Homo-oligomer: A and B are copies of this chain.
Amino acid sequence: MSELNTDRRIRKTKKVIRDALTDLMEEKGFDGITVRDLTERADINRGTFYLHYRDKYDLLEQSEEEILTRLKKMQLDIKDLDIEDLYEYYLKEEPFPFVVQLFEYIQINGKFMRILMGPKGDPAFPSKLKSFLSGNMMQNLYGKANGNELNIPVDYIIAYVLSAQVGLIQQWLNSGMKESPKEIALIVLNITFMGPLQASGIISLEKIKRKSF
């Protein structure tokens, strides 16, 4: 409900504060920012800041929360995602719709998310993004991945995939979002399914097979 603020002044104030946050984070990093910095940059009275946020941490949290809750809203219809469904898309060489949707939304908040996940950003945000992605895609992996021949603990598989996917998002943001959401979603699908070395053609699929298999 905090979105549907009726008073134009509040909307305007919150906007300039958040714009100031984005810019200043890029310049000096989040923990180099003071409330003074924010209000000077936003050209508002310092007291006004405290009318809306408890402190700079509250501002950051609210800004992140807004992004994550909107992401969660688009997630509802794919709760019972199966690896076989994904496989169908892989065969059709089509990106999975949810992932396209995800990148479309990321694109909207591109600048802020790029900074948030960058070296001057919030060290907690990648974890938050991972646990969002995890909620979507990882449930049924748990079951299927047990008892694999190499005995790699499932947690490592999950950590690998989540971290890699966040890395792809970061690379996309840092390189200026040149690919369309569809294109980048297809890249994600292919690398994830084939593995990085196979998808890039560095190693052929045949070479992977090992004597022991």
Contacts and interface: CB of A to CB of B under 8 A. Distances in A.
Interface size class, chain A: 35 or more
Given A190-B150, A198-B208, A163 B159 contact: no
Nearest to A118: B123
Interface in A30-56: 30-31
Copies of this chain, whole number: 2
Interface in A123-139: 123-124, 126-127
B202 A205 contact: no
A135 to B, nearest CB: 17
A152 B152 CA distance: 28
A200 interface: yes
A190 to B, nearest CB: 5
A83 interface: yes
